[in-house]
Amino acid sequence: MATSSMLAASMQPAAAADGNASWEMDSALLFYSEKDRVSVIEPVIRARKEIGEDEFLNLRLVLDSLTGSSANGAIPQSTPQTFTSPSGDGTYTTPANETPLDPTFHDTRVAFSIDWEKPVNKTLRAIYSANISKEFDYTSLGVSAQYAWDFNQRNTTFTAGVSYNLDTVNPVGGIPVGMTAMPTTTAVSKASTDSEDTKNVAELLLGITQVIDRQTLMQFNYTYGNDSGYLTDPYKILSVVDGSGNLRAVDPYLYESRPDSRTRHALYWKTVHQFSEDVVDFSYRYFWDDWGIKSHTFDVRYRYQLSGGNYLQPHFRYYSQDEADFYNYKLTDGSIPDYASADYRLGKLTSTTYGIKYGMALDKQSEFSVRAELMKQSVDAEGPLPDVDAAILQFNYSFLF
């Protein structure tokens, strides 16, 4: 999870109670574009209002529009390959020696979340949150609660949170039976269990935030996640080759299948430190799960304070993961496992992101910023799998309403 309306283990600073309690508005427009693959336009608006003493309401609305092509999991061949589209009504052909991409990929997602921050007493604060998101083939419903307890003269904060999500997948063409053949013509229907399936996600957070000194703040979190249900990607397939390495003649492509449970852990450390005016923000995360994935994430942002409240903020992120136990670039005829996926995102990979953000204080209460980032994903697993390059451009505008 941790994607949409994630309840971050950090409370917002209480805005100065000015009595007239206007809405603090935050808006963003994101353009995300992968070379030869997916493009996304994503506007977001967030509104925050003080509704009582130190009591806040946060609302967020997101629209996410996606078009383009996505790797279907099959491997390149020296001859063109033809696949059936997920609906089973059409086909698409990949030229020789190219990574097969499914061009029927398109989606629109709408997501809404509401958070209610409420002081329980002088040292204990609570945030209750609910979220819903809808795509034409995916629905997600979730609730969460988080408590933050200040002690040691508010220099130490202990945070605990829980969340639960119920997601429903209703893919085009139904839920394929894992490890059964993808039809190679529209005359044959895929083996399907049902039109939809569900997935449950439960998460737990324990964290400590500590003021180190006047200029330094640190946070340590542990999060635990348990996913169960349909965790497979219904659109992904694997190629099956024969003993001599050629695509087998009968049923050359199988639908992927992932285990129906997953337990995840993450340890997270973040430090924010202010120099004379500049601020550095560094974080590291170690992640591991029972699918065999382990990962390291380093993220650093350095905010150069310019005159007039403006700033320039370079960003660097490095991510590296090991592959899942059931990741396979391809399968071999005669030894088909129970679980397998060729989704490169489950393979051994590294992502590197470079970005820069420029922020302009328009007046005391409003700010405009723009950021540009480049992300490169390199797959280090068996190949050849091409790198995925993405460019990100984002505009932000915040104001009082």
Partner 1 sequence: MSKLLQVIILSVLVLSGCSSLGVQPWERDLLAQKKMQLDPYPLDTYLDEHIYYSKESSSGGKGVGGGGCGCN
Contact 156, 150 (CB under 8 A): yes
C-beta atoms surrounding 369 within 10 Å: 18
Which of 174, 181, 303, 385 binds partner 1 (CB under 8 A)? It is 303
**Which of 272, 331, 340, 379: binder of partner 1 (CB under 8 A)?**
272
- Residue from 118, 248, 285, 330 that binds partner 1 (CB under 8 A)? 285
Cβ proximity to partner 1: between 1 and 75 the closer is 1
Question: Number of C-alpha atoms within 13 angstroms, CB side, residue 187?
Answer: 1
Using the minimum distance from each CB to partner 1, give the nearer residue, 248 or 348. Answer: 348
Note whether 306 and 279 are within 8 A (CB): no
CB 205 within 8 A of CB 147: no
Amino acid 319 reads: Y
Distances (CA, A) of 34 to 37, 43, 255, 276: 5, 18, 25, 38
Question: Cβ(26)–Cβ(394) under 8 Å?
Answer: no
Interacting span for partner 1 (CB under 8 A) from 90-98, 129-137, 249-257, 332-340: 129-137
- 3 part of the interface to partner 1, by CB under 8 A: yes
Least spacing, CB of residue 187 vs partner 1, in Å: 25
The nearest distance, CB 340 to partner 1, in angstroms, is 15
The interface region with partner 1, picked from 89-97, 117-125, 247-255, 346-354 by CB under 8 A, is 346-354
* Interaction of residue 248 with partner 1, rule CB under 8 A: no
Q: Does position 81 bind partner 1 by CB under 8 A?
A: no
255 binds partner 1 (CB under 8 A): no
Please, how many CA atoms are within 13 Å of residue 369, restricted to the half-sphere of its CB?
A: 22
Is 346 an interacting residue with respect to partner 1 (CB under 8 A)? yes
Q: Is 133 in the site for partner 1 (CB under 8 A)?
A: yes
Q: How far is the CB of 289 from partner 1 (least distance, A)?
A: 8
105 binds partner 1 (CB under 8 A): yes
Single residue of 78, 121, 153, 185 touching partner 1 by CB under 8 A = 153
User: Would you call 198 helix, strand, or coil by DSSP?
Assistant: strand
The answer to whether the Cα torsion of 325, 251, 80, 188 is positive or negative is negative
Residue 253 lies near partner 1 (rule: CB under 8 A): no
**258 touches partner 1 (CB under 8 A):** no
Binding residues for partner 1 restricted to 28-67, rule: CB under 8 A:
28, 30, 32, 42, 44, 46, 60, 62, 64
The interface with partner 1 within residues 160-189 (CB under 8 A) comprises: 161-165, 167, 169
Number of neighbouring beta carbons within 10 Å of residue 119: 16
Q: Would you say 45 or 241 has its CB closer to partner 1?
A: 45
State the DSSP string of 59-71. EEEEEEEEEEEEE
Give the C-alpha distances (Å, rounded to integers) separating 142 from 45, 59, 131. 19, 15, 5
Residues 206-245 that bind partner 1 (CB under 8 A): 208-215, 217, 219-225, 233-236
Other Cβ atoms less than 10 A from the Cβ of 145: the count is: 14
Paired strand residues for 341: 327
Question: How many residues at the interface with partner 1, by CB under 8 A?
Answer: 115
